[in-house]
Amino acid sequence: MNDTAIITGGAGFIGSHLARRLHDSGREVVLVDNLATGRLENVQPLLDRGVRLIEGTAAEVLSDSAVFDGVSEVYHLAAAVGVKLIVDDPAGMIATNIDDTIAVLRACAAAGAAVLVTSSSEVYGKCPVLPLREDMDLVFGPTTASRWSYGLTKALDEHLAIDLARRDGLKAVVVRLFNTIGPRQVGRYGMVVPRFVSRACAGQDLDVYGDGEQTRAFCDVRDVVRALTDLMACGDAFGRVFNVGHDRRITIRRLAELVLERAAAAGRTGGAIRTLPYEAVYGEGFEDPPHRLPDVSRLREAIGWTPAFSLEQTIDTLIADECSGGTLVPDNDAASTPGERVKESEKA
């Protein structure tokens, strides 16, 4: 019986939580990660329990049909990560996101494996209407603003998956993730919550970009991976697109205040809130959507999903981890210590 799941980007923040959920449910799990942004320490406990990690890009690893022996489904999470990386290297990000997705989709179609493609709220671009629904028009800025390149690549990924689902019968589902947060996320790539938590716990000032009145909705990674596995188990989900995120939004300034309040309650006195212009962080011409909020009614109707964790609960977990030297890592964390893994170049 085919009961193995492959996770591309499996050593990353979301991938490692998904791997734990699948492994705990009794599944065989194979992780694929080139460790460019994924981290061995995220998955070392799972490797010690029999989960296998193949080191390489998704395109490299899944080109070998033998990898699909016993595999029934693939979760394609591998992608460029974070706004800062997008701004610093848009060409590299475009190649990674599109080339890997093409390779993954073709490999899954050939192997008869179902596939979940993780897209992003970035596909909505500057769409001004809230909440954001899956059938809305996508509104992007000019090609001279590199910020929009990420959303464009994810939109193309969606087109590829949906076309193969319609034309060739590929069992593919697309999810648009909205600001997933939780243990093992790092602030190095511009992720705001771990950045705020690590600085608050260190007694440092929290930097808010822009005027701080932009709003976002943050969803705990444990709720997100539950949605991913439930969608893959739902036959009606194939060929469709789903928003996955919390439907409570908060200003970034209020988020900073909340982190400072929760850190103080845990005995850590943070610094002040500072406001920095976007240009000081990302360079001239950077654009940021003022508001993002998902409509998750389609997700609720399909699988009965509602988030179990509040923003406060997740922040408290992150603060506790930071105070104990746990899963959060500072922006300049050291390189991972090599563990049990298989490099693509070393496979038989």
150 given a catalytic annotation: yes
Angle between helices 90-111 and 147-168 (to 10 degrees): 10
Separation in Å, CA 260 to CA 105, 144, 162, 332: 43, 37, 43, 22
Which segments within the chain are labelled E, that is strand? 4-8, 28-33, 52-55, 71-76, 114-120, 172-177, 180-181, 206-209, 215-217, 219-220, 241-244, 249-251, 273-276, 342-343
Query: Rounded to an integer, what distance in angstroms lies between the CA atom of residue 327 and that of residue 301?
Result: 34
Distance of CA 59 to the CA centre of its chain: 19
List 150, 189, 209, 282, catalytic entry: 150
> Residue 111 belongs to what H/E stretch?
helix 90-111
Catalytic positions: 150
